[in-house]
Amino acid sequence: MVAVFTLEEVSVRRGQALLLDSVGIEIRAGSCTALVGPSGAGKSTLLRLLNRLGEPTGGRVLLHGRPLPEFDVLALRRRVGLVAQAPTLLTERVLDDLRVGRQELTEDEAAKLLERVGLPDSMLERPTAGLSGGEAQRVCLARTLAVKPEVLLADESTSALDPASTAAVEAVFKQLAADGMTVVLVSHDAAQARRIADEAVVLTAGRLVEHGPVAQVAYLQGDAV
């Protein structure tokens, strides 16, 4: 197994609260890993460590064996892209939004990005203000992919979407992992994790309780998370 990320006894404390407690895991390259567990388990806290939107108060996070603080933070966030739970569009036109991180993006490249996330190229000239939640989330995903990240992080990025939009975004995640990208997602949905993830990391009260192939993780064998 080739590890993209290695967490070595990682802890995060905020005041009196211990959000992560000595978590040690490796996240495999070219796979989809789901971070699952009950609310407040530390899933989003862990995810945010991977591109330094948060910092551990103990232990280390390494990317390809190198501690994250050794990387330029902006360069790191281009390599490790994040799609948040709520889509945030930054410009007034879809094409301009796709160019936020890559100004030289051509219209043909932008059209291919939309196609990759299941949207028609006719949307390039659409105003961002008129998009549905599912369309907006997929534009955010395309915008993240425009800078050609090595890793994609997704924090509950389908939780507010309708079933059709959720299925479309899940299909993109599966295809990205199949194409060799490392995908790490937070999900409360056991069925979703079973559908699209190769491996699962289970957290409870900030502690690692299971980590392994999805079919072998007991926490995911129920109907809901």
CATH number of the domain where residue 217 is located: 3.40.50.300
Q: What number is the average pLDDT over the span 46-56? A: 96
The confidence band for 220, taking pLDDT boundaries of 50, 70 and 90, is very high
142-176 confidence digits (pLDDT tens)? 999 999 999 999 998 888 788 888 888 899 999 99
Q: What is the CA radius of gyration of the chain?
A: 17
91-139 confidence digits (pLDDT tens)? 999 999 999 999 999 999 999 999 988 899 999 999 999 899 889 999 9
Domains identified in the chain, total number: 1
The confidence band for 178, taking pLDDT boundaries of 50, 70 and 90, is very high
**Token pair listed for 130:** 């008129």
Please report the pLDDT score of residue 2 as a whole number.
Answer: 84
Cα diameter, the chain = 52
Q: Which residues contact 103 (CB under 8 A, 6 or more apart)?
A: none
Question: Which amino acid belongs to residue 85?
Answer: Q
Rounded to whole angstroms, what are the CA distances from 11 to 46, 210, 215?
9, 17, 28
Q: What number is the average pLDDT over the span 9-13? A: 97
Q: Which domain holds residue 45?
A: 3-221
